[in-house]
Structure 1
Amino acid sequence: MTAVYEWVADLFVVTLLALAAAGAVFVGLTGPARIVVLMPMVLFLPGYAMVSALFPEGTPRSRSLRTLNRAQLDDPTGAGYRRIGPTERLVLAVALSLAILPLTAYALNFTPFRIATLPLVAILTGWTLLFVVLAAVRRGFVAADERFSAGSLVPSGVFGSFGGSTYSLLFVGSLLVLAASAGVAGFASPAQDQFTETYLVTEQGGNVTTENVGETARNGGTIQLAITNQEGEQVEYTTVVQVEQVQNGGVSSAETVDTFTTTVADGETERSPYQVQQSGGSNTRLAFLVYEGEPPSNPSRDNAYRVVHVWLSAPNGQQSLAAPSAEAV
């Protein structure tokens, strides 16, 4: 009789790896460790759980893929043909995982969550755990001598059922390379498209516009700092307002005149009104230095996350957007 731990050991390992992947995304794990933890979810886990639920029986005692002569089977009813061997089980696990990942991402595209790492991993984890439970239940109803156990994944001659270990290894290896490429692209760099956009606007006749921002600022009117959050999560921004003196294309002096915070949900835009009370002489501008979270003790253009400014003295009052210098990154 097969001990319980022998036929649920693989399901237990799959459960641990799935929960580890979900936990890594939830806590924001980054770097190579993130890739190592998430790769099994991309390559293997959802498909293996599904295959385990579909095929709870173990490897048939006698079967040849080169002939369909049922007289040669230990089971003349042909029930053995409805089972799969270790190599087929592993290959199907990889192939199904490759199919499940893009289909899940495609479905997410039509939900409010959009295609993002956290909801994607949450769905894949839920899918994996659901089929783990189904697999355990189905195996429980299979006779002990017919039930699949993890030890049968690496028997002697595991690749023999495919008619040649070389071709089997090449096939499995090709699938793994393809899956790894998709996994790295999907999970290794989740933040490459994340950004924050800042710009200055005014409100005229109930309409928001970027026109006449400079004229409004020089006349002591109210302008608005608009912040669009595409960072993948809610962010609290801190804006430091400075009056800058510009000489020879650089800032010769800067005085902080105000600080305020703005909380922006992911995918949303918030506008913060600012009543301009400053006036400047030649080459003077009002700069808005935007930070994620708390600003440093010495805020400047070099360490700001985003910078937008409006001239208080330029004849056309044009605004411009500037990124931090390379040294601040």
Structure 2
Amino acid sequence: MTAVYEWIADLFLATVAALAAAGAVYVGLSGPIRILALLPIVLFLPGYAIVSALYPEGMPRLRSRSVRALNRAELDDPTGVSYRRIGPTERVVLALALSLVVLPMTAYALHFTPFGIATLPLVAILSGLTVLFSILAAVRRGFVAADERFTVGSLLPSGMFAGLGGGTYSLLFVASLLVLAASAGVAGLASPAQDQFTETYLVTEQNGNVTTENVGETARNGGTVQLAITNQEGQDVSYTTVVQLEQVQNGQVTNAERVDSFSTAVAAGQTERTPYQVEQSGGDNSRLAFLVYKGDPPSDPSRDNAYRVVHVWLSSPNGQQALAAPSSSGAV
């Protein structure tokens, strides 16, 4: 009879490593420590937990298992139990392969959520999956007979590569998978940072509904417009907005006057709208610009150094009102 720690030790370590990875991202660790904490959750842990839940049985003791034995499984074991068992090498290979599948599928699903593709929610979901399937695996192993239950001892090097018939080829095969998994993992963790952004746009509220229509008319008539800021940076951000009145000739700002400023704190994945009462009128070719900065603005705020810019025309050369498109990639 095996001790409890022998058949749950690997699941316990997987759970601890998954929680450590989530904690490293949450507290903002960086450098080599962050990489060491994240590599297991990207390359191995989710797939290992899933495989453990699917295959709670271990290989029979004192029995060699080769590729030929798989072809004779029906003769050796008419009940088909052999088909529900995998060796240590297959377990590692499947864990790597499933982890490579889970990572992009999770990132793709996050794309359609308010959180966006960011490191924190990605690692949180991978960690949650690892913990969930580790618990399920522990429960399933508990219902398996002690002499047939998988134990962490079967992953030791002495029997690690027996299943594929040749230690050298098995090592090369697993090493190749590790290189592939590492490449995919680095790409998966790097891409969310590239996709982080802040979106700004102007809206009005009419009959209880928020809309981008009639923003120009509302501003021209001295009404209230709202600056909406959507934070997809992956962390909470405090923004400062500088409002300036601009005179424009031939597409160039000929004069800019700072008229107001305000701060807005926006949680990750959330949108905040700040009302602004328009009291300015600048005559022909004038517009009201909202320069958005992360944190404090510089001493000389301008369109060139703003993180995001959105504007509304108070007048235009042909007398028609115009509104800048939502900004998500810089000054417009």
TM over 0.5: yes
State how 1:76-115 maps to structure 2 within 5 Å: 79=81, 82-106=84-108
Does residue 10 (structure 1) correspond to residue 13 (structure 2)? The answer is no
> 2:276 is matched with which residue: 238, 250, 273?
273
Alpha-carbon distance between aligned partners in 2 of 1:204 and 1:254, rounded to the nearest angstrom: 30
Aligned length: 320
Tell me, which stretches of 5 or more residues in structure 2 are unaligned?
none
Which residue in the other structure is 1:194 paired with? Answer: 196
- Root mean square deviation, CA, Å: 4.5
Alpha-carbon distance between aligned partners in 2 of 1:203 and 1:269, rounded to the nearest angstrom: 14
Is the contact between residue 202 and residue 222 of structure 1 (CA under 8 Å) also seen in structure 2?
no
CA apart distance, 1:291: 1.8
Is the contact between residue 240 and residue 263 of structure 2 (CA under 8 Å) also seen in structure 1?
yes
Alpha-carbon distance between aligned partners in 2 of 1:184 and 1:98, rounded to the nearest angstrom: 11
TM-score if structure 1 supplies the norm length? 0.72
Aligned AA for 2:177? Answer: L
Encode CA deviations 1:9-42: one digit per residue, 9 max, x unaligned. 2122101111012223333445654443222222
Among all aligned residue pairs of Structure 1 and Structure 2, give the percentage whose two residues are the same amino acid.
65
Between stretches 25-34 and 128-137, larger displacement belongs to 25-34
Which residue in the other structure is 1:126 paired with? Answer: 128
Encode CA deviations 1:31-55: one digit per residue, 9 max, x unaligned. 6544432222222112211222333
CA apart distance, 1:86: 1.2
Alpha-carbon distance between aligned partners in 2 of 1:139 and 1:198, rounded to the nearest angstrom: 52
Which residue in the other structure is 1:48 paired with? Answer: 48
CA apart distance, 1:129: 1.5
Q: 1:52 to 1:312 in 2, by over 3 A?
A: closer
Structure 1 counterpart SS, 2:193:
coil
Q: 1:194 to 1:64 in 2, by over 3 A?
A: closer
CA apart distance, 1:103: 4.1
CA apart distance, 1:107: 5.0
Q: 1:259 to 1:105 in 2, by over 3 A?
A: closer
Aligned AA for 2:48? Answer: Y
Does residue 292 (structure 1) correspond to residue 294 (structure 2)? The answer is yes
> 1:65 is matched with which residue: 37, 57, 67?
67
Q: 1:203 to 1:167 in 2, by over 3 A?
A: same
Is the contact between residue 203 and residue 209 of structure 1 (CA under 8 Å) also seen in structure 2?
no
Alpha-carbon distance between aligned partners in 2 of 1:312 and 1:51, rounded to the nearest angstrom: 62
Alpha-carbon distance between aligned partners in 2 of 1:133 and 1:209, rounded to the nearest angstrom: 52
Tell me, which stretches of 5 or more residues in structure 1 are unaligned?
none
Q: 1:2 to 1:229 in 2, by over 3 A?
A: same
Q: 1:287 to 1:109 in 2, by over 3 A?
A: closer
Alpha-carbon distance between aligned partners in 1 of 2:285 and 2:159, rounded to the nearest angstrom: 81
Which residue in the other structure is 1:226 paired with? Answer: 227
Alpha-carbon distance between aligned partners in 1 of 2:274 and 2:324, rounded to the nearest angstrom: 17
Does residue 261 (structure 1) correspond to residue 294 (structure 2)? The answer is no
TM-score if structure 2 supplies the norm length? 0.71
Alpha-carbon distance between aligned partners in 1 of 2:206 and 2:127, rounded to the nearest angstrom: 50
Q: 1:199 to 1:110 in 2, by over 3 A?
A: closer
